[in-house]
Structure 1
Amino acid sequence: MTIVGATAIIALIGFSYFSISGKSRLNVKDEQIIIGEVKKGPFQEFIPINGVVQPITTIYLDAIEGGRVEQKFVEDGAIVKTGQPLLKLANTDLELDLANRETAVYDLITNMQNTRNLSDQNSIRQLNQMADVDNAMAEAERKYKMNKTLYEQKVVSYQEFKAAENEYNYQTRRKKLTIETLKKDTIASNQQIVQMKQSLVRMQNALELMRQKAEDLTVKSPVDGQLTSLDVEIGQSKNKGERLGQVDVLSGFKVRADIDEHYISRVFTGLDGEFIFNNETYKLKVKKIYSQVSNGRFQVDMEFVGAVPKGVRRGQTLQIRLALGDETQALLLPKGGFYQQTGGNWIFKVSADGKTAYKVDIQLGRQNPDYYEVLGGLKPGDKVVTSSYDNYGDIQELNIGKGK
């Protein structure tokens, strides 16, 4: 009875204490929690991203004309020069079209030569006719003038005079009509020749384009570099516009990185990044931003600032720290698992004697992989519990004991 009574009294005292204090407590061992210290120091907001090393320039090879792969002159990975043939496609339809166009051009040239010959022959006939007309006109004019004089002297009759006059007038009209006909025939012949020349020029231009298309069946390297991703086999059919491979320019490298779309409004050209390679730190700078978002991420191209790491290879993955702002002085709180339960709104602050930790409201700002920026609720030197609060529930205070 005495033991039961004592136990009841102790329980009553404990219940009264917790009722008065209004706080729920939990005993924890110091080895089960992580305690961090708030301190003043340099802060720079950055995000970790992965980047892949790529050639500074890549030229893609597409099939300008479709066809069947007839020959491969080089293999994937070969170092090539500008204009070097890489592979040849065969396209019988294109080759037949080229032959037909060449035949049409030759036919037009032949027709133009024939037309010119006929025009020259017609001009000669017209000139001969003009000579006959001139001769008849001169004879008619001579007779008319002579008969006119003789008629005035009453040597010839009026009938002879009028016959000579009529002949002269007829030859005059005939000469005018012959001159007009010759002029129109000359203009028509010249126009026909000009039109045929213009048609020939157009057909020759079309033929040249067709020849160029036929030459495009031989795929050549557009630049000096390394041939990569060549996906062709002898006998394989390739459609027009289909990707055949690419040529990587070996004069330098760039880094293409994927970034979460959450940061798309905060990433701009000129931002700095850094990475460690062979225990040395190298600098990068954002050069180009691809605004298209795919699967919640967007891409940026970064160029090396200063030296390029020796031994870096195409396709190699680099772990980069991309700075989103300049370095400033701030109040720093070490990162930890507490954030998942509190959302950064409160934290357990350790008392001066290190035996308890109690809830305090805080305000956090920017962050990087190591620290949160503290905007309010804590001061330099404060110690806080930064480990996970998963098992604390609605606990208001922690009793920190020494672990065994």
Structure 2
Amino acid sequence: MEGGRVEEVFILDGAQIEQGRPILRLSNATLQLSVMQREADLFREVNRLRETRVTMEQRRLSLRASLVELDYKLRQTEREYERQDEMFKADLTARQDYDEAKDNLEYLTRRRDVTVETLRQDSLFQTIQIQQLEESIDRLRLNLELIKQNKENLTIRAPITGLLSSLIAEVGESKPGGDRLGQVDVEDEFKVRAAIDEHYIARIRSGQAGSFDFAGGTFDLVIRRVYPEVIEGQFEADMEFPDGLRRGQTLQVRIALGELADAMQVPRGGFYQKTGGRWIYVLDEAGEYAVRRQIRLGRQNSQYFEVLEGLEEGETVITSMYDNFGDMERLVMQ
């Protein structure tokens, strides 16, 4: 898209719009000047072609006239030479008159050959020159059409039928080429894109159910597509787009990975980075010290780890970072 100054805005954001309908119009003085210059170049080249054709035709006619004149003189010279030849053989004319008639015949013959060759070469050169001029005109016409198309594109139109969800342009504002002016959304093609921790990639599949809370209600979702590529520890999944939402909203989606069951849990914390989930510090009942204890973790989500072994219900543990504790077996609380 060519840049320019916003001259008119035909429709405001938030409106429904049909494909091809004008949204706004830009002006571009540089582009307009370029159109005028290309038109002038094309006009000059067309005139040059016309003048060249006229000049070439005049030269062709001149050479043809010269050839006609030479043919006439050549026939006269041939007759004079034949007469002088017969008379010279019969000793009725001087050697000088015979030689003069012979020389005139040879001269006119060579001159006619040169004229015929000149006419042939001129015809070939004219064909090449005319072809080059016509190709130059075709290129100028093509360039002019492209520039005119760019000028036509200064009127920004809706690429599709949908909702004009944003329009970033005001009358009088200058927009550089390629700048984003807005967005038209196809409302029936929206989807919810979820980023999920790679830990769950083997447990997420199409058709799986999810839900989220919004505006005091709970909405159900169904996973329609799973993207298996993992980027920065996460993969993505597409879900159906529920009614009542707008593009760009952020949701906290819950996905059911299996049947509900009772489980002992500990909050996710920095301790996992140090221990890998193999042990944890457990506080005594008085909260005076903590001892290192082996544990075994199971399932996990974004907030909790499931504890399979090593802890009893109601025990207090330390889940913060362990970097400052080293490999201490016992911590004294102060």
TM-score bucket of the superposed structures, by smaller chain: 0.7 to 0.9
Give the alignment's Cα RMSD to 1 decimal: 3.7
Say which SS state the counterpart of residue 314 (structure 1) adopts: coil
> Normalized against structure 2, the TM-score is what?
0.77
Amino acid in structure 2 at the alignment position of 1:67: G
| Structure 1 residue ranges without an equivalent (≥5) | 1-63, 349-357, 396-404
Distance 1:389 1:290, change over 3 A: closer
Measure, in 2, the Cα distance between the counterparts of 1:338 and 1:289.
Answer: 25
Task: Tell me by how many angstroms 1:287 deviates.
Answer: 5.0
| Kept in 1: contact 2:193–2:236 (CA 8 A) | yes
Matched, 1:130 2:60: no
Q: Does the aligned pair in 2 maintain the 1:256–1:299 contact within 8 Å? A: no
Q: Provide the rounded CA distance (Å) in 2 between the counterparts of 1:289 and 1:245.
A: 32
Partner of 2:297: helix, strand, or coil?
strand
CA–CA distance in structure 2, aligned partners of residues 167 and 338 of structure 1: 118
Q: Is the 8 A contact 2:264 2:308 kept in 1?
A: no
Report which of the two has the higher share of strand: 1
CA contact (8 A) 1:80 1:221 kept: yes
Q: Which residue of 2 aligns with 1:6?
A: none
Distance verdict in 2 for CA 1:236–1:291, change over 3 Å: farther
SS of the residue corresponding to residue 276 of structure 1 reads: strand
Larger radius of gyration: 1
CA contact (8 A) 1:151 1:161 kept: yes
Please give the residue correspondences for 1:5-404 in structure 2 after superposition, counting only pairs within 5 Å.
64-258=1-195, 263=197, 271=205, 274-276=209-211, 279=218, 281-287=220-226, 300=236, 302-304=238-240, 308-321=241-254, 333-336=263-266, 344=277, 345-346=279-280, 361-368=294-301, 372-373=305-306, 377=310, 384-385=313-314
Cα displacement (A) at 1:361: 2.7
Change (3 A) 1:368 1:288: closer
Contact 1:271 1:322 in 2 (8 A): no
Secondary structure (helix, strand or coil) at the match of 2:8 reads strand
**Larger relative contact order (CA 8 Å, sep ≥ 6):** 1
Are the equivalent residues in 2 in contact too, given 1:274–1:320 (CA < 8 A)? Answer: no
Per-residue displacement from partner, 1:218-273 (whole Å, max 9, x unpaired)? Answer: 111111111122011111111122211111122321123455xxx468759x7556
Contact 1:334–1:386, Cα closer than 8 Å, also in 2: no
Q: 1:98 & 1:138 partners in 2: Cα distance?
A: 60
Q: Residue 340 and residue 68 in structure 1: after superposition, are their counterparts in 2 closer, same or farther (change >3 A)?
A: closer
Corresponding residue of 1:7: none
Structure 2, unpaired ranges of 5+? 283-290, 320-329
- The 3 A distance-change label for structure 1 pair 152 and 389 is closer
**What's the % identity of the aligned pairs?**
32
Alignment partners' CA distance in 2, 1:181 and 1:239:
58
- In 1, distance between residues paired with 2:24 and 2:230? 36
Q: How far apart in 2 are the matches of 1:339 and 1:210?
A: 62
Question: What whole-Å deviation, never above 9, does each CA across 1:195-223 have from its counterpart, x for those lacking one?
Answer: 11111111111111111111121111111
Q: Deviations over 1:297-349 (max 9, x none)?
A: 97846243xxx5344443443322358xx7599x974223597779652587x
User: Does structure 1 retain, via aligned residues, the 8 Å contact 2:211–2:255?
Assistant: no
CA distance in 2, matches of 1:222, 1:339: 49
Aligned length: 305
Change (3 A) 1:184 1:265: farther
The Cα of 1:292 is off from its aligned counterpart by: 7.1
- Mapped to 2, the partners of 1:78 and 1:322 lie a distance apart of 35
Alpha-carbon shift at residue 147 of structure 1 (Å) = 2.3
